[in-house]
Structure 1
Amino acid sequence: MRKTINCFIPYEENTAIDKVVTALKDSIVVNKIYLLTTAHGSMPSVPAGCEPFTIDSLNSSDTIKKIAQKADTPFTLLYTKASPFELGYMALERIADFLQDRKTGMVYADHYEWKEGEKKKHPAIDYQPGSVRDDFDFGALLAFRSEYLIGAAGMMENEREDYRYAGLYATRLFIAETGRIVHINEYLYTEIEEDNRLSGEKQFDYVNPRNREVQIEMEQAFTGYLKRTGVYLPSNFKKVNFRTETFTYEASVIIPVRNRVRTIDDAIRSALEQQTDFPFNIIIVDNHSTDGTSEVIARYKDHPQVIHLQPERTDLGIGGCWNLAVHHPLCGRFAIQLDSDDLYSSPQTLQTIVNTFYKEQCAMVIGTYRMTDFHLNTIAPGIIDHKEWTPDNGHNNALRINGLGAPRAFFTPLLREIGVPNVSYGEDYALGLAFSRTYKIGRIYDELYLCRRWEGNSDAALGIEQVNTNNHYKDSLRTHEINLRRCYNEQRSQNDGNKSKAQNKHFIEKQFAEWQTASDNLAALRKALVKQEVICGIPFTVQHNPARMVSTGAKTDKESILSRPCFLCRKNQPEDQRVCPIGDGYNLCVNPYPILPYHITIPSAEHREQILPADFCNTVSTLLNELPDEYALFYNGALCGASAPDHLHFQGVPTEHVPLIAFYRRTDSGKERLASISHSSVLHYIDSYVCPLFSIEQCRDGKTDESLFTNIMKELPCSNNEPEPKVNILAWQEDEKQIILIIPRCKHRPECYSAEAGKQMLVSPGTLDMAGIIVTPRKEDFEKISTEDIRQILQEVGLPREDAQEIIKKYRKRDRL
């Protein structure tokens, strides 16, 4: 078996890592062992056969990028604890076997752990689309297909994300987005458990103030993931009308209970002590208690505010009890939580919550609570206020965290409509996700509630099996919610896109009809002299277009640019030129000097250099989704045909007029697959055109992967004083695909452009010239240019084939490893 794995293991001097290193060195699949250290200055001594590797931290984006640079084998193994571990028999071979599947980006396995002197099983759970919380328990041993790890590093580089804490989390999200994360249901290694806190203590890690900086980064990484995968929701909430129904009571305190004889009386008295300016009642759902709880509740049978429900059904969980209560005819306008273990922290809790409903016009309100012991003494972590919630992004971040806070309160008509899952764990979280998808959730950051922790709590000290069951259920809730939000966005995007396409088509046609300059030049274009020259089996069009002299002859040196006003800035455009906002920060304009019918220009609304945006693929997708279906976009690099290299812009033309698109559609265009992130994103090389081309084909499913584009751009030659490689880019959509065609360049203009009289031809190739529309503003150039001249010009300014082959070799070598 080939050596297919590079291993990255945290290392500290004086740790018992020798056995680990020996096991790795003895494995027939291990290529190199890198020992990760955060030591600065003198490097710690490392075991023979290993290479020291300095990082800032295990979880940073910088570390992921450094590891990706060393990932020159098909697979990469990363251990995420500094403590030693022991590999099971043939464990690495088993991991390598699972990673053979090209669609598998990462694997993890069950493991054993030494805990308090005893070796115990620590099973993991399967990864779902909803397993997006940052504390998902993979265990410490992670293994990757290197191409996915490299893709994740490229994504963070491309999005200019510099994470101190969230690099590994962002990597995992990227892999889940572009491939599969696979759970190996086998015990493959043993690790030492260093965190022996009870489950009831661990569940609040994410709200520990000491972790606040960490959580900010995690939210940033997660929000980026939601945007890339089409799940992100803007904060456009439905308005709530609180007067649609008549209620006897303004609020109801809902107490589901079973066997809480020690605490139920405290809870009832806490509710009855509430001081409000509205009528409220208490609905207690006694779920077949057998310990005397029912008798305690019966003491209040004559109290006018207390309703004691005893269901006939025996299959109700906490959620089912809530459903029974909120469908009671005397349930109030707002249903407010009080668990049978807990207390309101003051007599003003109900009034504060109801006031918040009206003040913020929200459908759900969540407060702040304090953790206490049975005797109400504060215990760690103290106040739980969930200040990670923000008005603009809380409803998105809710998908990442495991809880939303307490007490929770709901507008009853909507709660009845949505329904509460009939379970006894996670029902509150399910409601928070469902409400936040559509409605605003109000937050109260003052303490309202006391959450008592004692030995009788249902989640005080759970075993790993129950923890896994609970986490798997919440992951399934997130999976369901993610699917619903993606479907919602797709439907909205389709509706908006169809509307935008029609509106933008009307705008283009109207501008060409009403703007005299554009209308005249469009009419002249239709009468222009054209001829065809067959190259690569397709007819290239040579066009005599005098109106394009302003672009072909444009001076693009810095001094000339600085001496003239930018003609793409809105303030400098002609009075008759109209603009229509499009995409995220762009304007749609017609080109008054068209090369093809209904030629458009799409400049950035703000003045910035002609440099590819970091989210280029996403930008292209967004713009194409708003343009009429027949349009292709193209980008002229600052030194590759852009007559305005000082202002970022795209251009667009109907695809039917572009010879290169017809060539690409042919089955014999000779595409060679170079790399893929998943089945939905593939990089090809095309050698059968007049000059080398690269293409990226992506599925039109709302996802845009930037990494293949970023990686190929990094491989293209680039001068030290230039911000990006010389390049022309053509993009369009057809069927279910988006195609991005990259035309690498080595020169701005051919020698004939500046040749002496008689040999001179003023041809300054941009994307359309490279794609088969040769623009000649001078008639003498139109008349004398030949097939061989065209071939010579495009090959002279295009990337030399030998340079392209060097790039190909790198990809082939990586694929063979």
Structure 2
Amino acid sequence: MAEPLEGCNFIYIDHLQSCETVRKIAAATSSSYAMLYTRSAPLALGYMSLNRFINVAVNINAGLVYSDRTQMNDGILKRLPVIEYQAGSLRNDFDFGSLLLFDAEIMKAYAKEFADSDFNYAGWYELQLFILRSDKPLFHIGEYLYTESNSDTRLSGVRQFDYVDPRNSHVQTEMEKVCTEHLRRIGAYIEADTVSEAAIDRYKFHYEASVIIPVRNRVRTIADAIRSALSQVTDFNYNVIVVDNHSTDGTREIIDEICTEDKRCVCIVPEKTDLGIGGCWSMAINDFRCGRFAVQLDSDDLYSGTDTLQRIVNKFYEDKCAMVIGSYRMCDFQLNTLPPGLIDHKEWTDENGRNNALRINGFGAPRAFFTPILRKIGVPNTSYGEDYALGLEFSRSYKIGRIFDELYLCRRWEGNTDAALTQEQQNANNRYKDSLRTIEIASRQRLNTYWSQQVTGQDANKLFEEQLSVWEQVAKRYEELKHAMANEFNIDGSNICIQHNPARIVSTGAHIDSQSIANRPCFLCDINLPEEQIDFPLLSKYHLLVNPYPILPKHFTIPLKQHRPQAILPYYKDMMEIAGNLDDMFVFYNGAQCGASAPDHMHFQAGMRGVLPLERDWNELYRSTRSRLYPISDEEFIEALQLEPAADDTGIFSLRGYVCPGVIIVTRTAEASDFLFRKVYESLPIHEGETEPRMNIFAWTMKYRNDGTPRLVSIIIPRSKHRPDCYFAEGDEKMIISPGALDMGGLIVAPRKEDFDKIDSQTAADIIREVGISLDDELLMIKKLKHDDF
């Protein structure tokens, strides 16, 4: 092993780019700064350049300083300016040059905080993002301070695909992990379960799809592109919209000839002369002839087969996504494959693709968009990066569909705009995409801040007042509810109220079979909400909405942002947290077969306290009569004490004195309540063909009698059936009563006047008991809960 030069020390490393290497250099640095040269080729420092590096670093307290450089290539000296670093410069291939000056203090801080990081290839990238999060800038000196020798002579059009080369996948995996952690730390990470599906059936279009081809002066390629689009074999109507951006080389004449031959092809010529590719796209998608889906085809390129368009449209419907991206093959004009071959972007995952997209420079092709959302977002009027901007914005909020098979041929030729870019062109492109990422990061941070708000009962009341002030039709329903006819009965000590509410026929008579649900847009998905609907964020993943068809004087619906089936087990803890936040309201849940008119979309509801008999009469009638089921044994009390610091009022109880059986859970925390609920859940039967026990649930807060501290109360009403026999009866025996949680809580809703008039105290009790569980079934549930043999 060679001996170090005098005054030099060797640092023995495993990988040049590893975290361990960064830590070793940090540990070996005894001065205020460490300068790193990242190449093995000769380096020539400019006059006084080290002083310049250090002076700038000291003056602005920089974490990292880098500069422009010159490069010697085959005896020719070439200037290589670099660009300013910004918040969106998350590319792991950001060009700092080969000579970098690091603040030693920040390197040592990184080494301490990331002492356990063991990446082999992402160490310097992790340090780069660590500095970005610090209060010390990454600063570019716009001066040529050194000369290096060139060791990568490939054209820019070849280098740009390094990140999708399968040989580099292990490197890219590490880089993705580092970038993802950075996004989490700065509040720009988007969780997979927060993006929305697209309601692609909502709008009517004459054409199902439109192939969009912007073009200027492509006389050599335009006919091939258009005929490739027109050759698609589909089971739907489609057209081809060509936007000729004032061609002067005969391109327009070719387009007109094809339009005459095939009426599916239409040509748009903009009046304005300042449009880029994005501007041409805007012209096309806002044209009345644009179809439901707008599909990309560049004027140089071809679809791989006649089924490309069909496969893209199928993917929209399969995944209910707002954007679909396929895979393309690089080829020459004879369609011979060129390196790197198929570009499939397999680094994309449904879990993290939208976050990793902030690190890489592209999404792939062909790209297709759900037109209504694309019109709403708009296309930047540029000729570079407009597709990337759209991919970032779509992926922030909507589901993206990927097709990893070849759909598209990207033909490389001397006329391609990105085949061999100058340094200045590369810098302009990178600067623009970095700026897009900067914008996107700020947008995602703002979105996450919005969703992380803690909404209180006071906020909900403000939402209610604001909503009624702008939604006249709903305000009228709430006003009419004040005058709704109602009867109240006392049944064996329990109070039951009957409400005549004609507007509720929408929910009471809802068809919830799978076919009916499949045939209607989900009215709880945010894209299908009425334009007048205002929403507040709740627990980072729910919308708080005023219910437009109220039963309660203040009535809210709380749908999950994601379109997920109604199922309580994964979301019960959320329900308890919501009840704690909205402490002047009660929250309730309708099971999929227990009153939910949208069983395909997970949601809770909430309403004003003091109206529902079961909640209103809790302290007076039911709180003192409940009987404890858990904890009873010493072992159970020890388990309960592990849940909460004091098990004074914590437990599972039987609801006593009410018109039907129920189970009560009382705890201090949502976590403890969730633990106990799972015991109850497992004690209930699941009907054949269903996914959860039938139940309705109520939750609210109460004050503990001894010290006034809050408790969470949850009452579960197990169900035996969805609707009573009278719902399906004929003639005079028929009553349109379909009990949900509020009905089971003692507020029976009768949309029809004739049913309201027929219901007496006995009928009301019979309906609730019929759809609840029997005393025998309650006993079986209790035995299973207590693990008794039976």
| TM-score bin (small chain) | 0.5 to 0.7
Task: From 442, 457, 460, give the equivalent of 2:401.
Answer: 442
The 1:205–1:318 alpha-carbon spacing in structure 2 relative to 1, beyond 3 Å, is: same
Task: Answer yes or no: is the 8 Å Cα contact 2:219–2:251 preserved in 1.
Answer: yes
Displacement after TM superposition at 1:244 (Å): 2.5
What residue identity is the alignment partner of 1:108? Answer: Y
Correspondence 1:208-357 to 2 at 5 A: 208-235=165-192, 236-302=194-260, 303-357=262-316
Contact 2:380 2:389 in 1 (8 A): yes
- DSSP-derived class of the 1:478 partner: helix
Aligned partner of 1:120 in structure 2 is: 78
Structure 1 Cα separation of the partners of residues 641 and 204 of structure 2: 59
Task: Indicate the residue corresponding to 1:141 in structure 2.
Answer: 99
Letter matched to residue 479 of structure 1: T
Question: What per-residue deviation string (whole Å, max 9, x for no partner) do you get for residues 477-531 of structure 1?
Answer: 0000111111111121124699779965899xx9xxx9xxxxxxxxxxxxxxxxx
- Supply the distance in 1 between the matched residues of 2:209 and 2:392 (Cα, whole angstroms): 22
1:396-441 CA-to-partner distances (Å, cap 9, x unmatched) read 1111100000000000011111000000000000000010010011
Q: Deviations over 1:440-465 (max 9, x none)?
A: 11000010000011101011111000
Cα distance between partner residues in 2 of 1:603 and 1:486: 32
- Which deviates further from its counterpart, 44-53 or 317-326? 44-53
Evaluate the alpha carbon distance shift between residue 575 and residue 426 of structure 1 in structure 2; reply closer, same or farther with a 3 A threshold: same
Q: Which amino acid aligns with 2:389?
A: A
| 2:641–2:647 contact (8 Å) kept in structure 1 | no
CA spacing shift, 1:89–1:361, aligned 2, 3 Å? same
How do residues 26-45 of structure 1 correspond to structure 2 at under 5 angstroms?
Answer: 43-45=1-3
- 1:402–1:474 CA contact under 8 A, matched in 2: yes
Matched ranges for 1:351-750 at <5 A: 351-495=310-454, 569-570=642-643, 574=647, 576-577=649-650
Q: Could you tell me whether the CA contact under 8 Å between 1:434 and 1:481 is conserved in 2? A: yes
Do residues 59 (structure 1) and 132 (structure 2) align? Answer: no
SS across alignment from 1:211 = helix
1:601 Cα deviation after fit: 12
AA aligned to 1:424 is S
Q: Aligned partners of 1:66, 1:373: CA distance in 2, in Å?
A: 47
Contact 2:187 2:448 in 1 (8 A): yes
Matching of residue 192 in structure 1 with residue 149 in structure 2: yes
SS in 2 for 1:76: strand
Q: Which AA in structure 1 matches 2:190?
A: L
Distance in 2 (CA, whole Å) between partners of 1:578 and 1:124 is 65
Aligned AA (2:119): Y
Query: Which portions of structure 1, spanning 4 or more consecutive aligned residues, are displaced by more than 3 angstroms?
Result: 495-507, 564-579, 588-591, 600-605
SS in 2 for 1:429: helix
- Identify which of 150, 161, 169 aligns with 2:125: 169
1:101 Cα deviation after fit: 4.3
| C-alpha spacing 1:147/1:281, structure 2 compared with 1 (3 Å) | same
The answer (yes or no) to whether the contact 2:18–2:123 under 8 Å persists in 1 is yes
Distance in 2 (CA, whole Å) between partners of 1:400 and 1:199 is: 18
**Is the Cα contact below 8 Å between 1:79 and 1:140 reproduced in 2?**
yes
Q: Does 1:96 align with 2:54?
A: yes
**SS, match of residue 258 in structure 2:** coil
Deviation at 1:213, TM superposition (A): 0.4
Deviation at 1:164, TM superposition (A): 0.7
**What's the counterpart of residue 204 of structure 1?**
161
Give the number of aligned pairs: 499
1:211: Cα distance to partner?
Answer: 0.6
Distance 1:380 1:604 in 2: 55
In the alignment, residue 227 of structure 1 is paired with which amino acid? R
CA separation of 1:578 and 1:69: change in aligned 2, threshold 3 A = farther
Query: How far did 1:567 drift?
Result: 8.0
CA offset at residue 309 of structure 1? 1.1
When residues 435 and 601 of structure 1 are mapped into structure 2, their CA distance, relative to the original with a 3 A threshold, is closer
Cα pair distance change 1:457/1:55, threshold 3 Å: same
Change beyond 3 A, Cα 1:87–1:308: same
1:102 Cα shift?
A: 6.3
Q: Is the 8 A contact 2:235 2:310 kept in 1?
A: yes
**Aligned residue in 2 for 1:30:** none
**How far 1:145 moved relative to its partner?**
1.1
TM (norm. structure 2) is: 0.60
1:106 alignment counterpart: 64
Taking the aligned partners of 2:449 and 2:376, their CA distance within structure 1 comes to 24
SS in structure 2 at match of 1:99: helix
Could you say if the C-alpha distance between residues 288 and 578 of structure 1 is closer, same or farther in structure 2, counting changes exceeding 3 Å?
farther
SS at match of 1:299: helix
1:48 and 2:38 aligned:
no
Q: Is the CA contact 1:565–1:572 (under 8 Å) kept in the aligned structure 2? A: no
Q: TM-score, normalised by structure 1?
A: 0.58
Task: Judge which range, 303-312 or 147-156, deviates more.
Answer: 147-156
Q: How much has 1:54 moved relative to structure 2?
A: 0.3
C-alpha RMSD over aligned residues: 3.3
Q: 1:572 Cα deviation (Å)?
A: 11
1:70 aligned partner, one-letter code: A
One-letter code of the match for 1:80? T
Q: Counterpart amino acid of 1:215?
A: Q
What pairs up with 1:766-785 in 2 under 5 angstroms? Answer: none
Provide the secondary structure at the position in 1 that maps to 2:22: helix
Letter in 2 for 1:261: V
Secondary structure at the counterpart of residue 108 of structure 1: strand
Shift of 1:603: 14
Give the letter aligned to residue 117 of structure 2.
E
User: Which stretch of structure 1 is more off in the superposition, 47-56 or 443-452?
Assistant: 47-56
Identity among equivalent pairs (%): 53
Between the aligned partners of 1:136 and 1:332, the Cα distance in structure 2 is 39
8 Å Cα contact 1:568/1:603 also seen in 2: no
Q: How far apart, in 2, do the equivalents of 1:467 and 1:65 lie?
A: 33
Distance 2:126 2:674 in 1: 29
Q: 1:568 to 1:387 in 2, by over 3 A?
A: farther
The aligned counterpart of 1:178 is: 134
8 Å CA contact 2:455–2:581 kept in 1: the answer is: no
Question: Residue 566 of structure 1 contacts residue 572 of structure 1 at CA under 8 Å; is this kept in 2?
Answer: no
Distance change in 2, residues 1:44/1:576 (3 Å): farther
Choose from 85, 103, 109 the match for 1:151: 109
Distance in 1 of aligned mates of 2:144 and 2:226? 48
Q: Give, as a single letter, the amino acid of the residue that structure 2 aligns with 1:279.
A: N
Tell whether the 8 Å contact from 2:649 to 2:667 is kept in structure 1 after alignment.
no
Letter of the structure 1 residue corresponding to residue 292 of structure 2: R
- The residue type paired with residue 480 of structure 1 is I
The one-letter amino acid paired with 1:311 is P
Name the stretch that deviates more: 174-183 or 564-573: 564-573
Q: Structure 1 residues 229, 118: closer, same or farther in 2, change over 3 A?
A: same
